Amino acid sequence: MQLQDILFSQGFGTRRVCCGLVQQGRVTVGEPPRPATDPTEDLDPMGLVFHVLGERWVYQPLAYLMLHKPAGYECSQKPGAWPSVYTLLPGPLRGRPSGAASGVQAVGRLDQDTTGLLLLSDDGKFIHRLSSPKHHVPKVYEATCKHPVTDQQIERLLAGVVLDDDPRPVRAAEARALDSHRLQLTLTEGKYHQVKRMVAAVSNRVEALHRSRIGAIDLPPDLLPGQWRWLTAQEVAGLMAR
């Protein structure tokens, strides 16, 4: 695969831009790195380590990421009143060519005031697998509530509550109190503002909301708000195997 095509596939711009990066001496390949001078040089992309403008990258045919979403960001490419969560990612991840869209896409959304685990990818099958309600991928949320969490509220959440737009009761797969005002909910479907609306249906109110787990993936304690990392091959396989 030509070097300029490798750079293009990883989101570093058009082929013309990628050709220019090489010709301007801004790309090195391999470890230890050697200067790249020919944009048409044929290289094996799998496992290729390269540096662009001094930043180290490893070739990834498809991108699978986790992000610790902070409050105050929208999960939209065209946000309204709040900045986009995509601005927390490096430019190449936002520019990867991926079908009709460009760059990685969020697997589902979190409200602007909700924090926690967000997965992103440019693999359409992966996104569909995790976001489709028919696959019942569990997602764990921790809600801080305005009023004390009672046993009766937990029982109702487990039995099912009716939301405004759906006569069919919606229930939590699991629910338990973490302390007097904190509730942990596990859901297997994703409706609009679902946690907040379910808690409101049992006469309480969500004051803060955090997603800590998707499928078998926990948000690592050392991944700080606003930080991201690649998913490992084992993590991706585990999410797809459900």
Active site (catalytic) residues: 111
- Cβ within 8 Å of residue 100, ≥6 positions away: none
Contact of 101 with 70, CB cutoff 8 Å: no
Cis-peptide into 32, omega within 30 deg: yes
- Give CA–CA dist 80/113, Å, rounded: 14
Residue ranges of E strands in 103-219: 105-106, 114-121, 139-145, 161-163, 166-170, 174-179, 182-187, 206-214, 217-218
- Give CA–CA dist 211/65, Å, rounded: 16
Structure tokens, 41: 């040089």
- Give CA–CA dist 86/50, Å, rounded: 23
